[in-house]
Chains A and B, each alone.
Chain A
């Protein structure tokens, strides 16, 4: 029976049913597929049991193959350009992580001016990317509201709520930030900013006022965004109830980059991990990441689920025994003792006071944490453009040592990003590995998608709003489909077997 608010899975326009298996067994896997690069490549897979209830569900992100093969034999100095071209979404994060890996590879410390320029560019990028998410991507969920009619939960709805002028502000801010990035690095997608030990171009004193003005405008904009969030989200008790609801809560570990005082730092620092109770579990330099991160595969998923290696794989489950960790804004605030800038610190205190103290386990709080981080990024831009050292002319320490191995890490907008290279003595790549933010988050994203699906699918019946709720569950993480690549050597054959609840093989897939 279909109630007025339910419809049958098989009738969903956007769902594709797999062909029936041998013997006519009912298919148990449903896939919601995209069609083209214009729209992205992600995919949600939902597996049902015999009763028609959800057994597993996850967000499928296609794996880019061949990264290591492509990289091998190329000069390490090319990696910041190559990796920034892998993904059209966050090229600056890849460029910076690769540049930092080169610093390590050649064991060379960037000059103080070079470091400031990198930080300025990086914070500008973080601000812009976060603004895009707050207004454009997360906006339909929060600014318009989760309960709004589907027809309004789109960009037009966001503009309707905040006004055309704010929309223009977002676009203008984005354009000015991109001008800053291109000033230092040429094209955003093909930046030539980062070199081992420094940067390719300094800041001419005559050009400083323009960027100082941008920094101040960015801070005004971030504070305005904070106000919008308060007015439209936090003053609505229903939203706060939704943020803190069990449906969007997972008690996991958290990982993020912190400075020497354990405060948020997007550009540099050590990796800190806290447990589900908020206690420090680990603190380590990026070079030791392999000791702490491992990947697990499940027979029903192409995805590799990152978890904490010393704890082993304890399943897609949360609580004290979990080994799943999260990255991204929610995690970054959870692992820190505070923000490094005063206004962001105020916002940080309010955030934890409102949400019941640290750690915050509510996935949807990512949206709020993102706003706190926008303030931090803008304040860092203001501080850096006020620093006389920014216009220094000593922008590079020339490498003198032979390259060996180098791991670079930054906090990308979507979370911790690792680049790991090894070279021969001539500096040609012999091994290259990336762990991108969405990989780090894959296990927790799967848990969120599954939780939403389980609440809304019962006995083949899907409650209206499933897609919204599942989307909301993963959109808070701002997952990126552009580069969730794993750099295994060349093509890795991966066999996937899909079973029904009785263990019968419904379908076998082999990915070469």
Chain B
């Protein structure tokens, strides 16, 4: 599992039985279509949480996480932020480990963790009702989110970005780190 697998991993999290909670999975499928045939990039879905993600994210250089979020913004709004923003907010996560901690643990154990993690989180309206469909406003956001993530993945695959490393690239400039809600 320590072999590098791909440069860019788009990993979508969500539960396909929980209404809008599945939006990330829908976005991932749209991203996969847009990036079909693109070398160095993989798109995966997971309905698991916590440390399980350690195996999923090991080996990639750039991780683009797609998830649902509730901040009070308009349903369908696509937030972008750096995974560092999630640090220090572990109060409500007694059972499973947040992504920031998963990354930290992976690094401590010497596992090949991505050098940067960007989160694309789609504001949801109803994520606690067991059903298969997305609400219409969240469904409408899928294409936009997929466009943005695909574009970001392609920009990360540009030779300049990979050669100079992610911190020197434009991808992690402060203006990209939009506040959460």
What is A's interface to B at a CB cutoff of 8 Å? 14, 32-44, 62-67, 69-70, 82, 85-86, 88-89, 132-133, 136-137, 154-156, 159, 164, 167-168, 171, 174-175, 188-189, 467, 471, 474-475, 478-482, 485, 491
Contact = CB atoms under 8 A, between A and B. Distances in A.
Contacts of A34: 89, 91-93
11 contacts: A33-B92, A37-B127, A38-B67, A88-B52, A89-B95, A132-B50, A137-B95, A164-B108, A168-B110, A171-B111, A485-B130
A156 B104 contact: yes
Contacts of A171: 51, 54, 109, 111
Contacts of A485: 130
Contact of B13 (A37, A137, A481): A37
B92 A62 contact: no
A66 B131 CA distance: 7
B70 A35 contact: yes
Interface in B95-122: 95-99, 101, 104-105, 108-111, 119, 121
Given A36-B69, A70-B17, A42 B94 contact: yes
A164 B131 contact: no
B129 A137 contact: no
A32 B91 contact: yes
Contacts of B127: 37
A36 B131 contact: no
A159 B108 contact: yes
A413 to B, nearest CB: 10
A423 B108 CA distance: 51
Given A164-B108, A175-B55, 9 more contacts: A34-B92, A37-B69, A37-B127, A38-B119, A41-B92, A88-B48, A137-B96, A154-B104, A474-B94
Q: Which 10 A-B pairs have the closest CB atoms?
A: A34-B92, A40-B93, A66-B130, A88-B49, A66-B129, A70-B130, A36-B69, A88-B48, A475-B94, A42-B92
B176 to A, nearest CB: 18
A159 B95 contact: no
B80 to A, nearest CB: 13
A451 to B, nearest CB: 17
Contact of A63 (B71, B96, B128): B128
Contacts of A480: 95
Contacts of A67: 130
A39 B86 contact: yes
A475 B21 CA distance: 25
Contact of A136 (B16, B67, B91, B97): B97
B91 A467 contact: yes
A85 B16 contact: yes
B151 interface: no
A64 B128 contact: yes
B181 interface: yes
Contacts of A479: 94-95
Given A89-B95, A137-B97, A155 B48 contact: no
A165 B119 CA distance: 30
Given A65-B128, A478-B94, A89 B67 contact: no
A102 to B, nearest CB: 19
A39 B89 contact: yes
A81 B65 CA distance: 26
Contacts of B110: 164, 168
For B48, B54, B91, B101, the residue with the greatest tally of chain A CB atoms inside 10 Å of its CB is B91
B15 A40 contact: no
Interface string B1-22: 0000000000001111110010
A39 B93 contact: yes
B180 A37 contact: no
B74 interface: no
B90 A39 contact: yes
A35 B69 contact: yes
Contact of A156 (B21, B55, B108, B180): B108
